[in-house]
Amino acid sequence: MSDLLELLERVPGRGPEAPPEFGAMLDDISRAFGAERTLIALYDPERRSLRGTVGRNVPADLVEALQVPLTERDDPLVSALRSGIPQRVRATATDPRIGPHARDILLELGFDKFVVASLHGETESLGVLLIDRKAELTDQDLEALVPAAMQASTEIQRARDVDRLRGASTRDAVEREWLWWMVNSVADPIVVSDEQNQLVLQNKSAEKLFRVTAADVPGRAHAVTMNNVLFTAALSSWNLERGTVARPREITLVDPVEGSDLIFEVIAQPATNYRGGERGMVCVLKNVTELRLVSEELTRNVQRLQSADQEMRLERDRLDLILRSVPNPIIVIDSDDQAVSMNAAAQRLFGAPQALGGPVAAGRRQDLELRNNAKLASFIAQLRLDPGVRKSGEIQVVDPESEEQLEMAVISTEIRDDVGVPVATVTVMQDVGRYRELERRRLEQALFDSEKLAATGRLAASIAHEINNPLEAIHNSLYLLVNKSDPSDPDHKFLAIAMKETERMSRILRQMLGFYRPAAAMAPTDVNALVDEAESLVAKRLRDRRSRIVKELDPALPKVVASSDQLKQVILNLMLNAAEAMPNGGTITVSTRALGGGGARILRSDAVQIQIRDEGVGIPEEHMSQLFEPFFSTKGEKGTGLGLWVSYGIVQAHGGSLQVRSREGEGTTFNITLPIGGPASG
Ligand code: ADP
Ligand code: MG
């Protein structure tokens, strides 16, 4: 603001130079008093002195050189000004009241004697009037001088007022001009609103938001109208808070050109125009749209970071938990062979890593831990020599707690950084000794079971063989007796029962003998044809039970070296069992397919599979282990419990396998897998 005032001072039209009317006025006075020379010295408030301003019949360039400070109270000019009483100076050269400087100038101006009268306006002293006349001024002259001075004062006063006014209005215009520049060179919109919150003044930037012009397209005009409404409404609500603590105020306006939202922070300052007494608001609008977007983006990023951090922590905890709860020993070793992480299972074998501050076990236990460590270290050292990043093998360690020998399968993997430098080695172990022991036991059990089955089979077969001949004799005898006896004889029915039961016994024996008969000749057999034959044999029985057979036979099925009679018996047994498992009927699906190389469980590379699937009652879990035992049956009187036992024996004799899968209430699937070359031994 001070710069502005300074500029205003320099504006022409203001300043100490006297208006030309003073010359005419002096002429009038000179004439009225017959003065030889006259001079007006006006009071200069800045210098606090009287200064020569205009003169008549004096050297013009000297006029302004006359200066008398008001502090020189004795000086006749000063005392005339102060007292209002005209002062007479008879001899300038010798008058003791006049200072040396003023004296020289006065003499040069020609005032070797003079009368000085004060000039004053209504409220202020204006200056003094000096008159020099050849003839000394009389007292009447002096008296007449007072009204003349008065008149001159009035004139000076008026001139000065006019001058001041003119200066003032020029100053206003200039100020306005600068204000215009000031307000419009600001990029932020600035507005002034009246008491009704209507916009009364705005700078150029504000006009873009708030002023409708005739050239506006409807879209822009609408946006501008909206902005006015929004702003007035906002101002109304803020006005209510007048006098409360200022807080950042915000308003969202519409960009009239883009149509997008603009967010402004508004600095609102209540203002009063003292000239008119109106009150209003001066508002500076700061566009913070970008800022807000950036800060929102920042907030989002921070949140994203935080949640990522949290997720990472969760992930780490989860990993930790997994590591801790895995029963396999896991060890992470850094590139200096220092263990940096070990789970509990690993610590049990190798002791806590020193870095983790675990207690050092004492005595024998520590000894065992050290030995384990040495074994692991040499295993990992080997890995370093190998070009690969992974190495697997086995080491023998001792459980320091139970002192049990453990066979550990070890897999060590080198972890490398971006540039391929190894930074850590992760080692995972698996106690395979225990696993192997379990596997061995399982195999032993299976062997034992199958031997038991075979032994039972052999025993049963030899008994069957021994019983078969006497039973034939009994059967024949009974046959004769039944034919001879009279059907009306009350004993006839006992003979019939004996006949029926003997027949049943021989049926059982036949089934057993059929399987253990010395192996029938094996020949390449068309399994699909066997399925067809078996189907025709059971067709009638199936029809009675409202069951049907669906066949999915592989037309390219290779022939299998087998005993066709025995194999047919197996397929028959399984079909009948399937039918019997579906008391209310259903579908039995029989399919055949060739098994390629590695897919087979059996050792031969090529095999065929026969699958018999039903939708019957299924087999309860607890029956599974007994299924293939002789005489196991859930069918009471009607079952022999030999079908599966015999079938199992036949399939095994062919070097194949018989497997069952079942789900109670849903059905059962039997898979016969046969090597196409027949049994391995011959
Ligand atoms: P049997 O048929 O004379 O009972 P098996 O040796 O053929 O003797 O079958 C033994 C037992 O196995 C049957 O009693 C039955 O409980 C069960 N079983 C065999 N096949 C099936 C099947 N497809 N669905 C349900 N249970 C079956
Ligand atoms: Mg059966």
Position in ligand 1 atom list of the atom nearest CA 627? 12
The alpha carbon of 494 and the centre of ligand 2 are apart by a number of angstroms equal to: 29
Cα(56)–Cα(576) distance, rounded to whole angstroms?
A: 156
Position in ligand 1 atom list of the atom nearest CA 614? 23
User: Does the C-beta of 658 come closer than 6 Å to ligand 1?
Assistant: no
Query: pLDDT tens digits for 47-64?
Result: 899 999 889 999 988 998
Q: What is the pLDDT of residue 199?
A: 86
Q: What is the pLDDT of residue 450?
A: 63
8 A C-beta contact, residue 586 and residue 549: no
Give the residue-averaged pLDDT of 529-546. Answer: 89
Instruction: Please say if the pLDDT value at position 682 is more than 50.
Output: no
Give the residue-averaged pLDDT of 280-296. Answer: 89
Name the band, by pLDDT with cuts 50, 70 and 90, for residue 115.
very high
Q: What is the mean pLDDT of the chain?
A: 84
**Which one is predicted more confidently, 17 or 181?**
181
Instruction: Please say if the pLDDT value at position 510 is more than 50.
Output: yes
Instruction: Please say if the pLDDT value at position 601 is more than 50.
Output: no
User: Does the C-beta of 569 come closer than 6 Å to ligand 1?
Assistant: no
User: Does the C-beta of 577 come closer than 6 Å to ligand 1?
Assistant: yes
The alpha carbon of 611 and the centre of ligand 1 are apart by a number of angstroms equal to: 16
Closest-CA residue, ligand 1 atom 11, reads 633
Query: pLDDT tens digits for 397-448?
Result: 999 888 888 889 998 888 888 888 888 888 999 888 888 888 888 877 776 7
The alpha carbon of 627 and the centre of ligand 1 are apart by a number of angstroms equal to: 7
Q: What is the pLDDT of residue 520?
A: 62
Give the residue-averaged pLDDT of 546-575. Answer: 91
Give the residue-averaged pLDDT of 187-216. Answer: 86
Instruction: Please say if the pLDDT value at position 108 is more than 50.
Output: yes
Give the residue-averaged pLDDT of 100-128. Answer: 90
Cα(154)–Cα(40) distance, rounded to whole angstroms?
A: 14
Helices (H) and strands (E) in the chain, counts: 16, 23
User: Does the C-beta of 581 come closer than 6 Å to ligand 1?
Assistant: yes
CA 27 to chain centre: 94
The alpha carbon of 496 and the centre of ligand 2 are apart by a number of angstroms equal to: 26
User: Does the C-beta of 660 come closer than 6 Å to ligand 1?
Assistant: no
- The region of weakest confidence among 67-76, 152-161, 492-501, 556-565 is 152-161
Q: What is the pLDDT of residue 103?
A: 93
Substitution candidate for ligand 1 out of 570, 611, 633, 646 with most atoms within 8 A of CB: 633
Q: What is the pLDDT of residue 382?
A: 80
Closest-CA residue, ligand 1 atom 7, reads 643
Report which bound ligand comes closest to the CA of 638: 1
Closest-CA residue, ligand 1 atom 8, reads 641
User: Does the C-beta of 644 come closer than 6 Å to ligand 1?
Assistant: yes
Report which bound ligand comes closest to the CA of 640: 1
Query: pLDDT tens digits for 625-656?
Result: 899 988 899 998 778 888 898 899 889 889 89
Position in ligand 1 atom list of the atom nearest CA 644? 6
Q: What is the pLDDT of residue 3?
A: 42
Closest-CA residue, ligand 1 atom 13, reads 633
Instruction: Please say if the pLDDT value at position 237 is more than 60.
Output: yes
The alpha carbon of 646 and the centre of ligand 2 are apart by a number of angstroms equal to: 10
Position in ligand 1 atom list of the atom nearest CA 628? 6
Query: pLDDT tens digits for 126-154?
Result: 899 999 988 888 888 888 888 888 888 88
User: Does the C-beta of 575 come closer than 6 Å to ligand 1?
Assistant: no
Q: What is the pLDDT of residue 388?
A: 73
User: Does the C-beta of 574 come closer than 6 Å to ligand 1?
Assistant: no
Instruction: Please say if the pLDDT value at position 681 is more than 70.
Output: no
The alpha carbon of 632 and the centre of ligand 1 are apart by a number of angstroms equal to: 8
Q: How many CB atoms lie within 10 A of CB 492?
A: 13
User: Does the C-beta of 635 come closer than 6 Å to ligand 1?
Assistant: yes
3-state SS string over 73-116? CCCHHHHHHHHCCCEEECCCCCCCCCCHHHHHHHHHHCCCCEEE
8 A C-beta contact, residue 20 and residue 128: no
Pairing of strands 586-595, 547-552: parallel
Sheet holding 249-254, edge to edge: 199-202, 190-193, 278-287, 261-273, 249-254
Position in ligand 1 atom list of the atom nearest CA 617? 25
Tell me the three state secondary structure of residue 138.
coil
The alpha carbon of 285 and the centre of ligand 1 are apart by a number of angstroms equal to: 92
**What is the gyration radius of the CA atoms in the chain, in angstroms?**
65
Instruction: Please say if the pLDDT value at position 613 is more than 90.
Output: yes
Q: What is the pLDDT of residue 244?
A: 55
Instruction: Please say if the pLDDT value at position 621 is more than 90.
Output: yes
- The region of weakest confidence among 21-25, 295-299, 404-408, 613-617 is 21-25
Task: Give the C-alpha distances (Å, rounded to integers) separating 494 from 11, 499, 563, 600.
Answer: 154, 9, 41, 55
User: Does the C-beta of 643 come closer than 6 Å to ligand 1?
Assistant: yes
The alpha carbon of 645 and the centre of ligand 2 are apart by a number of angstroms equal to: 9
Q: What is the pLDDT of residue 602?
A: 45
Tell me the one-letter amino acid at 22.
F
Q: What is the pLDDT of residue 67?
A: 92
Name the band, by pLDDT with cuts 50, 70 and 90, for residue 354.
low
Instruction: Please say if the pLDDT value at position 268 is more than 50.
Output: yes
Instruction: Please say if the pLDDT value at position 314 is more than 50.
Output: yes
Closest-CA residue, ligand 1 atom 16, reads 634
User: Does the C-beta of 634 come closer than 6 Å to ligand 1?
Assistant: yes
User: What does pTM read for this prediction?
Assistant: 0.38
Give the residue-averaged pLDDT of 526-536. Answer: 93
Instruction: Please say if the pLDDT value at position 189 is more than 80.
Output: yes
Q: What is the pLDDT of residue 241?
A: 55
8 A C-beta contact, residue 570 and residue 672: yes
Report which bound ligand comes closest to the CA of 538: 2
Which stretch, 1-5, 164-168, 573-577, has highest mean pLDDT? Answer: 573-577
Closest-CA residue, ligand 1 atom 24, reads 581
Substitution candidate for ligand 1 out of 508, 541, 577, 660 with most atoms within 8 A of CB: 577
Position in ligand 1 atom list of the atom nearest CA 667? 24
User: Does the C-beta of 627 come closer than 6 Å to ligand 1?
Assistant: yes
User: Does the C-beta of 595 come closer than 6 Å to ligand 1?
Assistant: no
Query: pLDDT tens digits for 356-366?
Result: 444 555 678 88
Give the residue-averaged pLDDT of 247-274. Answer: 86
Cα(667)–Cα(523) distance, rounded to whole angstroms?
A: 33
